[in-house]
A and B are shown apart, each in its own frame.
Chain A
Amino acid sequence: MTVTEATTYSPPPDEAPADSPRPLRSRRNPADVAFRSIIVSAGVIVLSIMLMVGLFLLYRAREAIDAAGWGFLTTAEWDPDGGNFGIAAVLTGTVLIGLTAIIIAAPLALGTALYISEYAPFSLRRTLINLVDLMAAVPSVVYGLWGLFLLQPDILVVGDTGEGLPRWLATYFGWIPVFSITSGGTPIDPRDPLISDSVFKSSTFIAGIVVALMVAPIATAVMRENFSQAPLSEREGAYALGSTKWGMVRAVVLPFGVGGIIGGIMLGLGRALGETIAVFMVISVVFTVQPRILESGTSSVSSLIALKYGEASLFATSALMAAGLALFVMTLIVNFGASAVIARSRSGSVSDA
């Protein structure tokens, strides 16, 4: 233990100035200043574009909403130039199509997500994930073609009398008001062999099935992402306690992924509400509040816009903007609800849908 070179530290001479805190200021690198201003300006540009869209919608929609007042929410007809217009019918149709779609899509998505994350052979998993993601990327017009040319004429409403699932539902569940069918307002008997197939075509139900197929992959992707993050230790714990696979899923995976399930369903619902072209291809638009989902004729906000934009005067365009704004507000609430639920769930995963 020989101390060598003790001279490396010497106490400061008394006449030296007392220690003062060094000023901690980073030198501004000019390249960094330029970089920062570029990225901030990109943020400002994107923000202003987005705000411009939103504020323009609000501004143009106000004219129509001011003119219509509260009647905008309760009127079913659409005759803006006659001053009698409202979104009661289209909003009902939109919500019913969205709900039908999500009621069909939710179990499909849940089952597929569970299958991919729990049951599928490991070597197949990657392929299945890609397949589901591809399904989400298929253009909506292709789903519309499928619904219009295969699902409706060959699977659901077959032949001149419209044999198929809608008729069966109307026959045996017609006592539930949403499954009843009418013709021009008077109830008709689905057992009547003489009714035409057109009663069952172009309905909320068929549009809902088409949209369900479009939104199921999105919901599946979110749910699967959540399920696959369920901690391995808890899974093994469940197995170690003698659980079956389903017991493990019930006790570990589903409680863990409940946020993902709800979030995925809501994200799918948001997508279903805004879907345009597949719905527009399948349904025939009517402007009455039509709560019977099996009956021909329904409407949606996006179909209204696609149908009426061309012939619209300046004021009628403003009325369409108001309808579009209502749709946007609805999808916005659903989407923010979805991301809040996903973010608060235990897994807290991010979704890219």
Chain B
Amino acid sequence: MTAVFTPIDPTQVAAAPVTAAALPPDPELPEVRRTLRTTQARDVLPLVGAAAAAAALAWLMYFAVAPWSGVLGFVMLWYAFFVGLYALLVSMDGDAPLIKDRVAAVAAHSLAAVLLLALVVVIAFTMWRGRAVLPYGNFYLEDMSIAGPLDPLAVGGILHSAIGTLIMIALALSVTIPLGIVCAVFLSETSGGFTRFVRTIVEAMTALPSIVAGLFVYAGLITLQGLSERPGFGWAAFLGQKSGMAAALAISIMMLPIIIRAADVVLRLVPGTLKEAASALGASRWRVVWHVIIPTARSGITTAVILGTARGIGETSPVLLTAGVATAFNLNPFSGPMSSLPLVTFSLTKSPSAAFIARGFGAALVLLLVVLILFVIARIIGGRALGEQTPRQSRVAARASQRDVARMSARHVPEARVPDETYRPPSPPAAGVA
């Protein structure tokens, strides 16, 4: 027994900080407030030290030891030194699990930084190279029919392409929005072998490369040049040539599976209790869909459509095959090539002329801004959860239900109503009902 209860040696207590912490606080010393922050100086300082030391080492290697050059190489060398030195510094504080933890954190942070930095660079580079044409008003108001490769930026613009893009996407959306949403309702509201088959095929079609969609329209419609010369096929004249309509078809084929799939996912997220409640109140199937499911999923469906639109606007390869490049305005989608923003970017930047390349970057910038605006709208609408309402929407809904209450209490006036504290019609029964 005496061996177990060895009296504590005071010198050992002082040497072991863990035991010291367990001792009652010294009443002489004032209590120090503990910091609750998760980042502390001892976590940050090794990072700073390793970064500085790595920069110095990399500089030494680059300019004093090895005959190397190039910014990319310097950065990679610095990073290798940094990770090594950081692991070394952390190893002074703790053991293997701690080192692994810190190095993994550094890796995750730096990979994310590379990817997000790349995005910022892609967008900033387009803006930087496109800035030269932005001050020219004619860039937004003219077409390219009179602008040659040697003309300055004060001549010509991309309005024809912007209008072409708008016409094509409007035509495509007029097909894909109704068809896509109704098909998504079909997928979510019915079940059985046929539904599963349609869902599988739609899912397969999301894998269709956009250029194959373009090739389908090209081979199926545009190569049908002889058709309109046959008697009775005069209406088919638009089939034999590149046109905005053909491009709209190609974009529709590409967008339709994307929209259906995204909308189907959102519709299936509508809580079953809502549908059951609506059915239990006696609503028929279509009323459940129209008054409960669609309003609940509205923001998600809108997001699906807008993101599909952003994809459709940005795709170059289907319009390359089906709409062609035009330098002049063409407002008729049924005849002749119709330019679009991604394609004009592509074709202008292929030119060796500096002015054309600048205009191409300008067109890319306009395209990027359009996509950005669509994306922001989609996020503002779709950022809320299913069925969550804006203050305005909930005010409208509250007013509507007040009207319903008034209407119903006016119709069914009970002969002897039990006084009920919880039920109060917000407005008095309409006059004329005795």
Contacts and interface: CB of A to CB of B under 8 A. Distances in A.
Nearest to A39: B186
Nearest to B320: A306
A335 B98 CA distance: 39
Interface stretch (A82-90, A199-207, A284-292, A326-334): A326-334
A53 B108 contact: no
Contact of B307 (A34, A35, A132, A137): A137
Interface string A134-164: 1101111111111011100001101000011
Interface size class of A (residues with CB under 8 A): 35 or more
Q: Max chain B CB contacts within 10 Å: which of A109, A163, A276, A327?
A: A276
B206 A43 contact: no
Contacts of A36: 190, 285
B203 interface: yes
A213 B195 contact: no
29 contacts: A31-B286, A43-B186, A43-B187, A45-B179, A50-B204, A53-B213, A56-B219, A57-B212, A60-B219, A114-B108, A115-B109, A120-B112, A139-B367, A141-B367, A142-B122, A145-B364, A168-B73, A246-B101, A274-B209, A274-B211, A276-B209, A305-B215, A321-B215, A324-B211, A328-B209, A332-B207, A336-B204, A336-B207, A352-B265
Interface string A309-348: 1000010011011001101100110111001000000000
B49 interface: no
A164 B289 CA distance: 59
A258 interface: no
Nearest to A42: B182
B20 interface: no
B265 A276 contact: no
Interface string B332-359: 0000000000100110011000000100
B97 A247 contact: yes
The 4 closest A-B pairs by CB, nearest first: A111-B111, A139-B314, A274-B209, A35-B286
A142 B186 contact: no
Contacts of A299: none
Contacts of A280: 317
Contacts of B261: 352
A155 B112 CA distance: 20
Given A39-B182, A164-B73, 10 more contacts: A50-B201, A112-B116, A120-B112, A141-B314, A274-B211, A281-B350, A302-B317, A309-B215, A331-B207, A352-B265
B109 A137 contact: no
Given A31-B284, A112-B115, A246-B105, A141 B346 contact: yes
A172 to B, nearest CB: 12
Contacts of B201: 47, 50-51
A45 B208 CA distance: 18
A173 interface: no
B223 A328 contact: no
A332 B204 contact: yes
Contacts, number: 285
Interface of B: 69-73, 97-98, 100-101, 104-105, 107-112, 114-116, 118-119, 121-123, 125-126, 129, 179-180, 182-183, 185-187, 189-190, 194-195, 197-198, 201-213, 215-216, 218-220, 223, 253, 256-257, 260-262, 265, 284-287, 289, 304, 307, 310-311, 313-317, 320-321, 342, 345-346, 349-350, 357, 360-361, 364, 367-368, 371-372, 374-375, 379
Contacts of B194: 43
A139 B316 contact: yes
Query: Would you call the interface of chain A mostly helix, strand, loop, or mixed?
Result: helix
A277 B346 contact: yes
Contacts of B204: 50, 54, 332, 335-336
Contact of A116 (B112, B260, B316): B112
A302 B211 CA distance: 6
Nearest to A134: B375
A131 B148 CA distance: 38
Nearest to B268: A350
Interface string A66-108: 0000000000000000000000000000000000000000011
A232 interface: no
A317 B100 contact: no
Q: Max chain A CB contacts within 10 Å: which of B190, B204, B374?
A: B204
A188 interface: no
A146 B120 CA distance: 11
A273 B205 CA distance: 15
A46 B198 contact: yes
A29 interface: yes
Contact of B125 (A42, A135, A150, A158): A150
A120 B212 CA distance: 40
A226 interface: no
A111 B189 contact: no
Given A56-B216, A115-B111, A244 B100 contact: yes
A324 B72 contact: no
Contacts of A270: 207
Contacts of B100: 244, 246-247
A216 interface: yes
A114 B105 CA distance: 9
Contacts of B342: 139, 141, 277
Nearest to A247: B97
A38 B286 CA distance: 10
A150 B256 CA distance: 34
A165 B72 contact: yes
A324 to B, nearest CB: 4
A239 interface: no
A183 B192 CA distance: 59
Contacts of A197: none
Interface in A229-280: 244-247, 249, 270, 273-277, 280
